[in-house]
Amino acid sequence: MSNIFHKEDFSKVLAKHGMILQEHQLRQFEEYASMLIEWNQKINLTAITDPDEIYEKHFLDSILPSFDMSIQGSFCDVGAGAGFPGIPLKIIYPELELTIVETLGKRITFLNALCDKLKLKGVACVHERAEVYAKDHRESFDIVSARAVANLPLLSELCIPLVKKQGSFLALKGANGDEEYALAEKAIRLLGCEMKQRDVHTLSDGSQRINFVFVKTRPTPKKYPRPFAQMKKNPL
């Protein structure tokens, strides 16, 4: 593989897109990577533990959507796991109001420790299922995003109810993103969104990332999201 990505390439790639990282931001990413590796020995956070790969397949991957769209306002990251894409975007855009909704308590413990260590302000880590959280937080975020949480039909029902009218649902997908979109198109419309853009990026190993941005044009019908078991059994 001739085109190997090293963590030193991270800031160069961002600089090409007009993002010049300050010293303290570079330090935050370094601390993030080392905490991820350290905590991963105790709780399962990631299968990727090589520092170079963390920088490309977690950090850069999380930031890719910001090459193609404006990331600002209130941002809800659904099922963030170890904090992707929300925390890398928060490091790049410190003004972002970030809410992370995650079902696993151990991951919330990690995320709270991480935010303390990185001195991140304006981050709320919520230990809750997305469909339960949506009951009291319908249509309250400018951007709702998820990465590698579930397939797109299911993900749409978890995320779109949380998006404000004229806000965006951002779905970060891999090479099979187009197949997922074909299955989810009807559901996405039903939930009140229209496709705005589809952006493709290729990582150093040749793997593709397909990021979809859907704009919310109508309120989501009140009956969604349904209970999770129902969503799984009868996807929209």
pLDDT, tens digit, for every residue of 15-68?
999 999 999 999 999 999 999 999 999 999 999 999 999 999 999 999 999 999
According to the model, what pLDDT value does residue 1 have? 35
Annotated binding-site residue? 5:
no
Domain with 94 in it: 6-217+225-231
Give dist(CA 42, CA 90) in Å, integer: 25
pLDDT, tens digit, for every residue of 166-187?
999 999 999 999 999 999 999 9
Tokens of 121: 């302000």
Annotated binding-site residue? 131:
yes
Give dist(CA 166, CA 113) in Å, integer: 34
Question: 80 lies in a domain?
Answer: yes
Give dist(CA 114, CA 35) in Å, integer: 7
The per-residue b/e assignment along 131-168, b for 16 or more CB within 10 angstroms, e otherwise, is bebbeebbbbbbbbbbbebbebbbbbbbbbbbbbeebb
Question: 1 lies in a domain?
Answer: no
According to the model, what pLDDT value does residue 2 have? 43
- The pLDDT confidence band at residue 80, using thresholds 50, 70 and 90, is confident
pLDDT, tens digit, for every residue of 83-139?
999 999 999 999 999 999 999 999 999 999 999 999 999 999 999 999 999 999 999
Question: 236 lies in a domain?
Answer: no
Cis peptide bond upstream of 219, omega within 30:
no
Give dist(CA 31, CA 20) in Å, integer: 18
Give dist(CA 53, CA 56) in Å, integer: 5
Which whole-number Å values give the CA distances from 152 to 66, 106, 156, 158, 225, in the listed order? 20, 25, 6, 10, 14
CATH of the domain at 197: 3.40.50.150
Question: 149 lies in a domain?
Answer: yes
DSSP for 93-141 reads -TT-EEEEEES-HHHHHHHHHHHHHTT--SEEEEES-HHHHHHHSTT-E
Across the range 215-220, mean pLDDT stands at 98
Annotated binding-site residue? 226:
no
Beta strand spans in 17-108 (E): 74-78, 97-102
Annotated binding-site residue? 147:
yes
Question: 42 lies in a domain?
Answer: yes
Give dist(CA 216, CA 55) in Å, integer: 32
Question: 202 lies in a domain?
Answer: yes
Annotated binding-site residue? 130:
yes
- Residue 140's closest CA among 216, 226, 88? 216
In the predicted structure, residue 193 carries a pLDDT above the cut 80: yes
For residue 216, what are the β-bridge partners?
193
According to the model, what pLDDT value does residue 97 have? 98
pTM above 0.85, yes or no: yes
CA atoms within 13 A on the CB side of 191: 31
Q: How many domains are there within the chain?
A: 1
